[in-house]
Amino acid sequence: MKNLLTCLCIIFFFAIGCPVAVFAEAASGEPFTMRRQVVSSSTDSHSESDASAANFSADDFLTLVNRDNPLPADYRPDDLVRYKGTELREPARDAFVQMLAAMEGEGIYGLQLQSAYRCYAHQRSIFEDRIRIFTAKGSSREEAEALAAKSVQPPGASEHQLGLALDVSINGLLSPAFAQTEAGRWLEENCRKFGFVVRYPQGKTDITRIIYEPWHLRYVGIPHAQIMYENDITLEEYRYFLAQYFMYAVWGEDEYFLVQLSGDEIISTSKPIGASPQTPRTF
């Protein structure tokens, strides 16, 4: 019943083109809070698909990180945990472990976590390596940087620095062909159930400015991943929608909340909304 209600709410949320409060059975628990520290962009430029005047907190799951919204060189999440030779934020780690168990429960094995958190210096090294490949082929430094940026973000512009992005593979396969593997197809269909999205989907390069990367997953949390999947939109497009209407629904364990954006802050309700499933209503 809850899944049905969730799907109906998601469809209703986008179909009417205005904010919706999602109601569901609310269990007693701690008040829901979100961190409000904002990491400012070092540029006033924003992509056309992200009209929000300010970025989210770097500790928030919906933070947009790209060339227009870079992270400071010294930014490092304070809840990183070690996992399979790399680091990632604890909520993303827990969700990945659950997702991997579900995949293996359906008889699909061999998914490898290739990369997760990368510090600024590590990303700079990767980017410079890619530039050298193109300069060795005769490109100028400027040309090489532009070519490199199509597949590798410059330092500070990689969401790997957030600790929420994962590169996964089967036998080290990091190419569009990963989408045709059994694991790739399963992730495309199911990763949203665990709060992940394929961050750079096919046909969206004009928005993300990154080539199709079926192996690159981003943890955004539930229900955001579900909403993005059902409506075939990227993080840039989803944030644009939120910036237009300033509120959206989010849930904790079994509780639903209405979250409101105000300027450069995220303001949340102090307690769950609703005591029983009801028809969504607009505000």
By annotation, the residues acting in catalysis are 213
Residue 66: name the closest of 52, 80, 82 by CA: 52
Q: Are 131 and 89 in contact (CB under 8 A)?
A: no
d(CA 175, CA 215): 7
Residue 255: name the closest of 222, 219, 216 by CA: 222
Q: Are 282 and 14 in contact (CB under 8 A)?
A: no
DSSP string over 176-192: GGGGGSHHHHHHHHHGG
Cα-flanking dihedrals φ and ψ of residue 248, to 5°?
-160, 170
Q: What's the CA angle centered on 4, arms 257 and 102, to 5 degrees?
A: 90
d(CA 71, CA 42): 8
d(CA 172, CA 153): 20
d(CA 218, CA 203): 17
7-14 own/partner pairs: CB under 8 Å, 24+ apart: 7/230, 8/280, 9/249, 9/280, 10/223, 10/226, 10/227, 10/230, 10/231, 11/230, 12/280, 13/227, 13/248, 13/249, 13/280, 14/227, 14/230, 14/231, 14/241
